[in-house]
């Protein structure tokens, strides 16, 4: 009986999984991009299913890399034509349909190509998109080539000190350490569904306390001096590993552990 139930479950679920793996919405909608790498302008036309409108304009792409993008649907058919030549059927060229495994469609002309750089980059991108989709069964939707992610607040200094081989950065903040929970008098007027005041303890690397009205009696203001935090890069490759000294004190550490026990 269990075996039959499992078989029936697979019967219903498997088609959905196969369709989902195509990275296409249930209605066939896809975000598609179109590029012209010929050395002249072209116009993109959609072949419509309507009797009173056989073709529809979908973009004028300039020579040598002009692009457009929009949501299309699997099975929609397009063609390219030079400007004002779309009604001459013999001048229509490179008919194509939108397919589930492709999001970039290119107009090219080997007899009159665009610049070598544009053609080479586009061919490289097409190969990348093809391999990415067939590896992960989903489309690459970011720009290409996407720059490596940056952590803007960590602009580390090169360290020439042999005793400290890691790159580092000092950060100053006036968001001081908490030493106790804010008094109940500070909680008047708080919303009933708000967590306890102790759950709002926080520290920000940006300047200013950023915390609104806080009970300064529950903070160590460090004699009015800014706190200094040392950020060290322990491992520069992927995944990057950073160490931040003096980030929280004992009271705050206990507070975090207590929250985890209460949840």
Residue 178 parent element (H or E)? strand 177-178
pLDDT of amino acid 115: 96
DSSP per-residue codes, 90-132 = GG-EEEEE--TT--EEEE--TTSB--HHHHHHHHHHHHHHHHH
- CB-neighbour burial class of residue 178 (10 A; exposed 0-12, middle 13-18, buried 19+): buried
pLDDT of amino acid 166: 65
Q: Cα(41)–Cα(63) distance, rounded to whole angstroms?
A: 5
Averaged pLDDT, groups of 10, the chain, 263 residues long: 45 44 69 97 97 96 96 97 95 96 97 96 96 92 74 64 67 86 52 40 41 66 88 80 85 89 75
Output the six-digit token pair for 18: 């196969």
pLDDT of amino acid 49: 94
pLDDT of amino acid 216: 67
pLDDT of amino acid 242: 85
**Which are the contacts of 156, defined by CB distance < 8 A and separation ≥ 6?**
167, 168, 169, 231, 233
pLDDT of amino acid 192: 39
Fill in the DSSP letter of residue 157.
B
CA distances to 36, 77, 177, 258 from 197, in Å: 59, 60, 15, 14
CA distances to 81, 91, 98, 121, 183 from 109, in Å: 12, 14, 20, 15, 75
């Amino acid at each position: 009986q269990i075996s039959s139930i499992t078989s029936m479950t697979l019967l219903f679920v498997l088609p959905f999984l196969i369709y989902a793996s195509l990275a296409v919405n249930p209605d066939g909608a896809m975000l598609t991009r179109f590029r012209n790498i010929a050395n002249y302008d072209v116009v993109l036309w959609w072949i419509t299913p309507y009797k009173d409108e056989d073709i529809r304009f979908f973009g004028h792409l300039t020579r040598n890399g002009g692009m457009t993008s929009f949501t299309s649907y699997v099975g929609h058919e397009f063609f390219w034509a030079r400007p004002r030549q779309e009604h001459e059927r013999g001048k229509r060229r490179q008919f194509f349909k939108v397919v589930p495994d492709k999001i970039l469609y290119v107009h090219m002309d080997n007899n009159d190509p665009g610049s070598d750089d544009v053609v080479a980059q586009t061919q490289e991108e097409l190969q990348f998109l093809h391999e990415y989709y067939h590896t992960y069964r989903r489309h690459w939707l970011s720009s290409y080539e996407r720059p490596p992610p940056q952590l803007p607040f960590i602009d580390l200094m090169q360290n020439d000190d042999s005793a400290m081989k890691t790159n580092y950065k000092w950060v100053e903040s006036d968001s001081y350490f908490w030493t106790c929970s804010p008094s109940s008098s500070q909680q008047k007027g708080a919303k009933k569904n708000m967590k306890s005041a102790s759950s709002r303890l926080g520290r920000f690397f940006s300047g200013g306390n950023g915390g609104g009205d806080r009970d300064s009696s529950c903070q160590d203001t460090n004699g009015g001096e800014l706190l200094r935090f040392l950020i060290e890069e322990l491992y520069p490759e992927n995944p990057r590993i950073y160490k931040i000294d003096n980030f929280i004190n004992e009271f705050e550490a206990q507070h975090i552990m207590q929250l985890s026990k209460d949840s």
